[in-house]
């Protein structure tokens, strides 16, 4: 594989975050404070002044978690940013997390901004993740979900999980392996919320929330903020950290997958999937690589079965074989990648480290490409980060090691 393949015209130069808090522990701190702390941390990491920022690229409609909003003008006043040339957001929810780096790239390539921040902040005092669907007012789109008792994303994903089990014989043993392997990766993470070993016995004794999904199949309900700074590759090479080039990035998805967040009228194939197959095709084509070239995968893991379905979507295993692939130990972290395997969520993911709606995956991708990750994959040259499965869009991002 050529190390200069793909886009490589912009790079991530700074990442920063607050501590990750359990639900309710950041009470008394505003969303703007949390996000600003993360932005300042990312600037320090990059060796930039906060006044260098001239663009914001958000996702989730600039929603800060569930019930709060982020406004560029608030950050400008709080941080002393004099002027911006770009401020835009991707619609949908967490599915846009990886794609927001593409939005930042678009601003830089177009010449609208030169230093662009992507930030997500999350508190769950106003609205808990687990009941976000039930909290919405009645609508035509929700006329199936709410009367059916589908109160939150976990209930909706449980339907997709059951369909995958029905179609392909997938069992809860595969879900258990995702949860257990992810927890193992979090044990040595200083910021991780969950740092106690998860055994098979403990997993299968876990309280059922939305059958077949138990408490250990659900991501954490955490609070905090993460920020990422993107700039041109030329400017990046003059800054503090080793640049992490954006090799490929895409967001979007098919109409059929979008039905999964309204009335579940998807055809076979799309139904029991993560909805990422079109995105996978685009990012691999952009990058000029195949799944076998990816060295580490940071997969959006709000629910364990959706990791399995994304592994299929991105071609790490054949459609319907995700359960067996995972159960074989193929996603477990090892310092050296073995043929036919792919280390997944080496940071502990949203299941065990912390849930900040997809941003921790990008931070880990950056650290893997810098060679500074706690659970470093030796010689890694390409990292895949994903956003969603969620309401459209979903997104994918391939980061590279700078040559």
Measuring CA to CA, how many Å separate 312 from each of 171, 254, 264, 318? Answer: 16, 16, 20, 6
Pairwise CA distance, residues 310 & 295, whole Å: 16
Q: How far apart are the first and last CA of the chain?
A: 13
DSSP state of 18: P
Give bridge partners of residue 396 from the DSSP assignment: 250, 386
- Please report how the helices 31-46 and 72-79 are oriented relative to each other, as an axis angle in degrees rounded to 10: 60
Catalytic residues: 300, 355
What's the full length of the chain, in residues? 403
Measuring CA to CA, how many Å separate 251 from each of 19, 104, 293? Answer: 28, 13, 21
Measuring CA to CA, how many Å separate 394 from each of 98, 228, 276, 309, 351? Answer: 8, 19, 7, 13, 19
Pairwise CA distance, residues 168 & 387, whole Å: 24
Pairwise CA distance, residues 182 & 67, whole Å: 29
Are the beta carbons of 233 and 105 closer than 8 angstroms? no
Contacts of 320-326 with C-beta under 8 Å, sequence gap 24+, read: 320/167, 320/168, 321/168, 322/164, 322/168, 322/170, 322/174, 323/164, 323/168, 323/169, 323/170, 323/171, 323/173, 323/174, 324/174, 326/174, 326/177, 326/178
Measuring CA to CA, how many Å separate 186 from each of 201, 240, 329, 347? Answer: 19, 27, 17, 6
Are the beta carbons of 16 and 226 closer than 8 angstroms? yes
């Amino acid at each position: 594989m050529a190390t200069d393949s793909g886009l490589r015209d912009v790079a991530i130069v700074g990442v920063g975050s607050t501590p990750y808090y359990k639900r309710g522990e950041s009470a008394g701190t505003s969303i703007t404070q949390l996000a600003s702390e993360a932005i300042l941390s990312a600037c320090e990491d990059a060796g930039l002044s906060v006044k260098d920022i001239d663009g914001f690229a958000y996702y989730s409609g600039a929603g800060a978690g569930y019930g709060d909003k982020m406004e560029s003008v608030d950050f400008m006043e709080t941080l002393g940013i004099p002027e911006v040339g770009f401020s835009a957001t991707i619609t949908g929810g967490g599915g846009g997390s990886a794609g927001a780096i593409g939005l930042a790239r678009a601003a830089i390539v177009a010449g609208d901004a030169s230093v662009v921040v992507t930030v997500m902040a999350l508190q769950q005092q106003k609205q808990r993740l687990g009941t976000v669907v039930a909290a919405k007012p009645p609508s035509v789109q929700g006329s199936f979900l709410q009367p059916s008792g589908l109160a939150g994303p976990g209930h909706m994903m449980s339907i997709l999980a059951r369909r995958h089990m029905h179609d392909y014989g997938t069992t809860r043993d595969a879900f258990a392996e995702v949860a257990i392997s992810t927890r193992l990766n979090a044990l040595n993470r200083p910021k991780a919320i969950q740092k106690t070993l998860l055994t098979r016995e403990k997993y299968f004794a876990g309280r059922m929330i939305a059958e077949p999904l138990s408490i250990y199949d659900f991501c954490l309900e955490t609070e905090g903020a993460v920020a990422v700074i993107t700039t041109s590759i030329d400017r990046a090479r003059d800054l503090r950290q080793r640049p992490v080039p954006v090799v490929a990035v895409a967001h979007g998805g098919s109409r059929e997958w979008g039905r999964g967040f309204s009335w579940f009228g998807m055809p076979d194939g799309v139904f029991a999937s993560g909805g990422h197959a079109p995105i996978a095709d685009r990012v691999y084509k952009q990058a000029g690589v195949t799944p076998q070239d990816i060295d580490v995968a940071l997969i959006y893991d709000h629910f364990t079965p959706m990791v399995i379905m994304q592994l299929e979507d991105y071609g790490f295993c054949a459609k319907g074989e995700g359960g067996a692939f995972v159960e074989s130990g193929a996603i477990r972290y090892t310092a050296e990648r073995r043929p036919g395997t792919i280390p997944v969520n080496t940071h502990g993911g949203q299941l065990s480290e912390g849930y900040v709606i997809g941003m921790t995956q990008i931070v880990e991708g950056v650290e893997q490409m810098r060679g500074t990750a706690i659970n470093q994959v030796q010689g890694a040259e390409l990292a895949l980060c994903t956003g969603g499965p969620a309401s459209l869009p979903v997104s994918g991002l391939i980061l590279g090691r700078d040559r």
